């Protein structure tokens, strides 16, 4: 299972029902393949930065998924086929990086070559701990 973010743009001509149907279809594909939709947001009708299929607007839909790779390929296939989808983007959310502790240990012990190396190590450590803090908040 991996985390993904999916955004797709639906035809602006669709009403609210059409948008909901589009979301339901997409999440149906995901759940069928063993994934789950953690979050779905409707961003509403937004102006596109450039023309897509002769449309200047589109309904933006954002999904956050926990899904196996197979579910994602299936979802992409579905979004490619669905005519109401103007464009979509799937992004793999990087897995939380672990091991800031290890980095800290290796940085602090062998470096005696000068203060410069030490300061770099300290910065890396600070960054690492900040990152884990934010993840804890998210979770």
Any contact of residue 121 with another protein (CB under 8 A)? no
What are the start-end ranges of the E strands in 1-139?
Answer: 2-10, 36-52, 55-67, 85-92
Least separation, in Å, of the C-beta of 112 and another protein? Answer: 26
Any contact of residue 37 with another protein (CB under 8 A)? no
Any contact of residue 88 with another protein (CB under 8 A)? yes
Give the N- to C-terminal CA distance of the chain in Å, as an integer: 16
Any contact of residue 102 with another protein (CB under 8 A)? no
Stretch near another protein under the rule CB under 8 A, chosen from 45-53, 68-76, 77-85, 101-109: 45-53
- Among candidates 9, 4, 36, which has minimal Cα distance to 22? 9
Reduced to 3 states (helix: H, G, I; strand: E, B; else coil), residue 96 is coil
In angstroms, the CA 41 to CA 23 distance is 9
Any contact of residue 103 with another protein (CB under 8 A)? no
Residues that bind another protein (CB under 8 A): 5, 7, 9, 48-50, 52, 58, 62, 87-89, 91, 94, 130-131, 134
């Amino acid at each position: 299972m991996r985390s993904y973010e999916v955004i797709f743009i639906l035809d602006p001509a669709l009403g609210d029902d059409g948008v909901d149907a589009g979301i339901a279809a997409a999440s149906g594909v995901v759940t069928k393949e063993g994934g789950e939709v953690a979050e779905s947001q409707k961003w509403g009708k937004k102006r596109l930065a450039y023309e897509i299929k002769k449309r200047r607007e589109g309904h933006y839909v954002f999904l956050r998924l926990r899904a196996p790779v197979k579910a994602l390929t299936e979802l992409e296939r579905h979004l490619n086929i669905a005519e109401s989808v103007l464009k979509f983007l799937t992004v793999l959310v990087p897995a939380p990086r672990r091991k800031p502790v290890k980095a800290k240990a290796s940085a602090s012990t062998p470096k005696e070559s000068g203060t410069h190396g030490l300061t770099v190590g300290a910065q890396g450590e600070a960054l690492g701990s900040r990152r884990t803090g934010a993840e804890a908040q998210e979770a």
